[in-house]
Structure 1
Amino acid sequence: MTTSLERRRFLKSVAAAGVILPGMSMFGAAMAANDTLELGDAQNFDFDALINRARTMATKDYVAPIAPDPEIVGKIDYDTHGKLHYKRDHSPFADGSGTYPMTFFHLGMYFAKPVHMYLLEDGAAREVVYRPDYFDMPEDSIARKLSDNSGFAGFRLHENLERDDWKTQDWAAFLGASYFRAIGDEGQYGLSARGITVNTATSVPEEFPDFREFYIEPAKSAEDPVTIYALLDGPSITGAYKFLLYRGKGVTMDIEKHLFIRKDIERLGIAPLTSMFWYSEQNKSFRFDWRPEVHDSDGLELWTGSGERIWRQLNNPEVIRASAFGDHTPRGFGLMQRDREVSHYLDGVRYHRRPSLWVEPLEDWNKGAVQLIEIPTDDEIHDNIASFWVPDEPAKAGNSYQFKYRLYWQAENPFPVEKLAKVTATRMGRGGEPGTNRPKDEIKFSVEFEGDILGTLEYGEFPEVIVSTSRGEIVRTKIEPIMDTRIWRAAFDLKATGTDPVDLRMYLKLDDAPLSETWMFQHLPGLTNQQQG
């Protein structure tokens, strides 16, 4: 009997001789020709079967993935992992069988769960078998002691083969639980997305379901998508995913997912985004850090089903805060990086080039809420911001869901605010006016709006400031243009006692027509200006 290994060696020798066997695609021949990449036997694959697998798994008890050789993987710390580099001459699709080569991440202390990787074409899937010699690693690295076929931690897609720098430049990565990310049109990584969130900031511990299997089908041209299928599994949920990844202006991802609830879930987050906000101009204290601002995203932007455009400035609170923005059939939402001025960061890690991430539903999501979770942080190394859609329907065991949406990883909103001014800065300071006895119980808010529509105002014509508060009193509201700019500044003082959060809302209008998007902010009066953030 011919073994699977002998069969692989046979296919390699046939392909090396330039012979294509009947029924063997060019892709299969090219993969077989790679004499160092070991592939498993071909298996039939289709998305419907993957969906059925996820549905069946949800009816059974959860079995957690087990890290191979845990005593070894547990010693592959951050520094050790950073010295493990996948060799580019082992990259799938680098032979021209696809447009974008792929490389794999090694297992390690912080990515200990193995993920099975399959190369896919024409309904046939072959698993890539892990071998230590796929990686450049120091001679004394403990990673050399891992068993064959231990699995990989994740993968990333590199730039087009036609680019001279493809070996050093990648544009999308899937690594850790259900996390993934992509670069924007500024060529920089920043915030992340997740396949799902389960019980984030609730009365029960958060769960982190894992992508357990990936099936990757290459793009045949730069206009075609890389197609990725994924199987998700966690204690309370299973799922089958289909990703279409397009490398164009930034990165666009079409996502279809089928979810099956294994156990009741208190807060199920759809299309979750995760980011970092430490401080910006509105909550900066000189005691934090020498840089003017540090954040991957500075606000949550919403486009509601009714058509309202909202900008919610992010906060770094003193305790975990959850905000909900109820909606019906939302048009989109995203965690955005609006501030693109390099002088506002003065940092070598290029915060001014971090991508924004916009979610566009591709079908009716019915009733629910975009929820925003803000978690205290005292450093930039922690992702402390999350946003996602939560359906109104409780996520009960036995329920199933299907969602389709598109992610835009790029600098600006793909659906810009038309004919409305947008918020460009939020600032805070002492209440009152210069040269007066400043009241100690008032905080001044100064919000800057910019847009072509403000330039159409007649000389002496001023917009009306519409501002409201969930509690307390608004005093001394005013608006003025900032000389030699296209910016108008709307300011007001808030007088509020106590320590409970204050939700503020403001927009500009002229006659009965809005001139701006809606600015929203959650003020935390329990903190002083020097402490906020």
Structure 2
Amino acid sequence: MDRRDFLTSSLASAMAFAFAGRVAAADEPAAAPAGDQPFGFAVLKDEARALAQKPWAEPTGRVPARFADLSFEQYREIRWKRDLFLWRNDKRGFALEPLPAGSVYKLAVEVYLVDGGHALPISFDRDRFDWGNTTPPEDGVVLPFSGVKLHRPTDGDRWPEFAVFQGASYFKATVRDLRYGLTARGLAVDTASPDGEEFPTFTRFYVEKPEENANSIRLYALLESKSLTGAYRITLRQGEETGTDVELTLFPRVDLGHIGLGALNSMFLYGPIGRVRQDDIRPAVHLSDGLAIKTGAGERLWRPLANPSTLQISAFGDENPLGFGLAQRARDFSDFQDLENRWELHPSAWVEPVGDWGKGSVVLVEIPSESQIHENIVAYWRPAGKIPAGQEFSAAYRLHWQASRLTPAELAWVSDSREGRGSSDARRRFALDFVGTLPQAAELRPQVTASAGKILAPIVVPNPATGGVRLGFELDPGNAPLVELRVQLTDGTRPVSETWLYRWVAA
């Protein structure tokens, strides 16, 4: 993982977490967690349930002052020694690296090892860390943990990381031969709300000792915030993709009117559609370029992302969705021309609900941004209605981190979306490239609709460069401040492509 990739997530998270002021810096030792204790998912649920019945208490974990004040570069030099990763030499298929608190990660969390139905806390030992140019803590001073990293062996004696849980309820994973990219959250609460967003935090991690030569690793997490508590069981597998099975139960202290399940955060600065003009040699800068949805009725939707001039919130109503995710469909170096960040090497993430999620909507939040360090894209499932205080809420989903473009196998899909000036200054020209299984261009019937304004001159022509077709059309928005566009290719009787959606917003 290169420097800019790490800062992209960490700096954006540091601005969003809003917990830095909640943890007092102190040079006295932090309180040690309790000793060996019985543990299981039911035990964690019981504890979360009991906590929810008590008033919210501010976190009490303390980070020694000089570590709280470290720059991020200084913090990055402090690492658990690689040869001391837990289970590295036990042939268990996974290794665990506890992460220190400090710098932007000021909230102390507890980390436990689970073995045989019992949980034992990991104690701080300064000799287990490489400190770089930072002086280790003095005798008796404890530097708390802030999260965990998971490692998987490869050829030779390499143990590259593939997943990290750190900061609020954020976590991310990568795929072999790719880099870290977009991030996930255990829960989103009141995202983009006028009253402000709440950021629940994983305050404890319980990592289960894997079986010998295991193909999966499981951890549990306690979620806490002012409005709720939660118990999570998360199972990770790494193969051609990295799979994350998430099971959760929430315990609301108050009525919850706006939560986000399967929440994903990403970055879209600019691309060939809705481009923010920048003096930059790179043709595109983004971790993801679109939102993919498979509705409960089986329709496949593709919504290219934008970096708008004002906050934009889109809600795609549905019942029992089959999946949604943020994809990186641009997969060639030429799409980005960025030798440092290699945006084409970042994964897509697909959320697959387990069981029926009922009525609600996939929500897409697009936040204006002028820098690639900000995660300005959020997508999640918002259940309809409220969850009353005191009523437990459970859900489960599989999160697939993939190198794929999240495309439908049975339909043609949009490989590129482009926008520019039309035949007059008042009009906008769109060009959509469809690839996949398609009839001849002459047999295709474009279905192009707009919520306002007029659609002009839609035409489908072969694209020999892609082996597919290109659909071109113009939009005359008139005086409309925004226009919702919808495009689908049919053969005259049935759809042969995914449905392309886009919100055009007047500058």
**Matched residues in 1 for 2:268 and 2:377: separation?**
7
Report if aligned partners of 2:311, 2:368 keep a CA contact under 8 Å in 1.
Answer: yes
Query: How far did residue 161 of structure 1 move?
Result: 7.0
Distance 1:81 1:431, change over 3 A: same
**Matched residues in 1 for 2:90 and 2:115: separation?**
14
Distance 1:222 1:246, change over 3 A: farther
Report the count of equivalent residues. Answer: 475
Report if aligned partners of 1:299, 1:335 keep a CA contact under 8 Å in 2.
Answer: yes
**Matched residues in 2 for 1:292 and 1:221: separation?**
47
Amino acid aligned to 1:445: F
Distance 1:269 1:473, change over 3 A: same
Aligned to 2:499: 518
Report if aligned partners of 1:76, 1:143 keep a CA contact under 8 Å in 2.
Answer: no
Report if aligned partners of 2:329, 2:405 keep a CA contact under 8 Å in 1.
Answer: no
Compare 97-106 and 291-300 and name the one that shifted more. Answer: 97-106
- TM-score, with structure 2 as normaliser: 0.90
Query: How far did residue 40 of structure 1 move?
Result: 6.8
**Matched residues in 2 for 1:270 and 1:90: separation?**
35
Distance 1:318 1:70, change over 3 A: farther
Pick from 110, 119, 124 the counterpart of residue 125 of structure 1: 119
Aligned to 1:482: 463
Query: How far did residue 192 of structure 1 move?
Result: 0.5
Aligned to 2:432: 447
C-alpha deviations, 1:454-510, integer Å up to 9, x for none?
A: 2x42xx723111011111111111111123431211111111133622111000001
Q: Which has the larger radius of gyration?
A: 1
Amino acid aligned to 2:452: R
Alignment identity in percent? 36
| TM-align CA RMSD | 2.0
Aligned to 1:410: 402
Pick from 355, 359, 364 the counterpart of residue 351 of structure 2: 359
Report if aligned partners of 2:453, 2:478 keep a CA contact under 8 Å in 1.
Answer: yes
Report if aligned partners of 1:178, 1:195 keep a CA contact under 8 Å in 2.
Answer: yes
Aligned to 1:175: 166
C-alpha deviations, 1:150-194, integer Å up to 9, x for none?
A: 42011101122764211xx11011010100000024431100000
Pick from 92, 101, 112 the counterpart of residue 98 of structure 1: 92
Q: Classify the secondary structure of the residue corresponding to 2:103.
A: coil
Q: Classify the secondary structure of the residue corresponding to 1:514.
A: coil
Aligned to 1:62: 56
Query: How far did residue 41 of structure 1 move?
Result: 3.3
- TM-score, with structure 1 as normaliser: 0.85
Where does 1:21-420 land on structure 2 (aligned, <5 Å)?
Answer: 41-69=35-63, 71-96=65-90, 98-138=92-132, 141=134, 144-145=137-138, 148-160=141-153, 163-166=156-159, 169-284=160-275, 287-347=278-338, 348-412=340-404, 416-420=407-411
**Matched residues in 1 for 2:138 and 2:323: separation?**
48
Query: How far did residue 98 of structure 1 move?
Result: 2.6
Where does 1:498-513 land on structure 2 (aligned, <5 Å)?
Answer: 498=479, 500-513=481-494
**Matched residues in 2 for 1:65 and 1:146: separation?**
24
Amino acid aligned to 1:404: A
Distance 1:401 1:504, change over 3 A: same
**Matched residues in 2 for 1:184 and 1:134: separation?**
28
Pick from 474, 482, 485 the counterpart of residue 493 of structure 1: 474
**Matched residues in 1 for 2:138 and 2:448: separation?**
64
Report if aligned partners of 1:86, 1:104 keep a CA contact under 8 Å in 2.
Answer: yes
Q: Classify the secondary structure of the residue corresponding to 2:137.
A: helix
Distance 1:499 1:230, change over 3 A: same
Amino acid aligned to 1:514: P
C-alpha deviations, 1:269-327, integer Å up to 9, x for none?
A: 11101101101111335534221111000000000001100000001011111100000
Query: How far did residue 146 of structure 1 move?
Result: 8.7
In structure 1, the gaps of 5 or more residues are 1-37, 433-438, 528-533
**Matched residues in 2 for 1:385 and 1:223: separation?**
35
**Matched residues in 1 for 2:188 and 2:115: separation?**
31
Distance 1:413 1:496, change over 3 A: closer
Query: How far did residue 445 of structure 1 move?
Result: 1.1
Compare 487-496 and 40-49 and name the one that shifted more. Answer: 40-49
Distance 1:160 1:137, change over 3 A: same
C-alpha deviations, 1:334-357, integer Å up to 9, x for none?
A: 001011011111112221010000
Amino acid aligned to 1:509: T
Distance 1:493 1:161, change over 3 A: closer
Distance 1:271 1:375, change over 3 A: same
Report if aligned partners of 2:92, 2:214 keep a CA contact under 8 Å in 1.
Answer: no
Report if aligned partners of 1:269, 1:390 keep a CA contact under 8 Å in 2.
Answer: yes
Amino acid aligned to 2:365: I
Report if aligned partners of 2:275, 2:306 keep a CA contact under 8 Å in 1.
Answer: no
**Matched residues in 2 for 1:285 and 1:195: separation?**
31
Pick from 463, 470, 488 the counterpart of residue 444 of structure 2: 463
In structure 2, the gaps of 5 or more residues are 1-31
Distance 1:501 1:328, change over 3 A: same
Q: Classify the secondary structure of the residue corresponding to 1:513.
A: coil
Q: Classify the secondary structure of the residue corresponding to 1:475.
A: strand
Q: Classify the secondary structure of the residue corresponding to 2:329.
A: coil
**Matched residues in 2 for 1:77 and 1:244: separation?**
33
**Matched residues in 1 for 2:58 and 2:139: separation?**
20
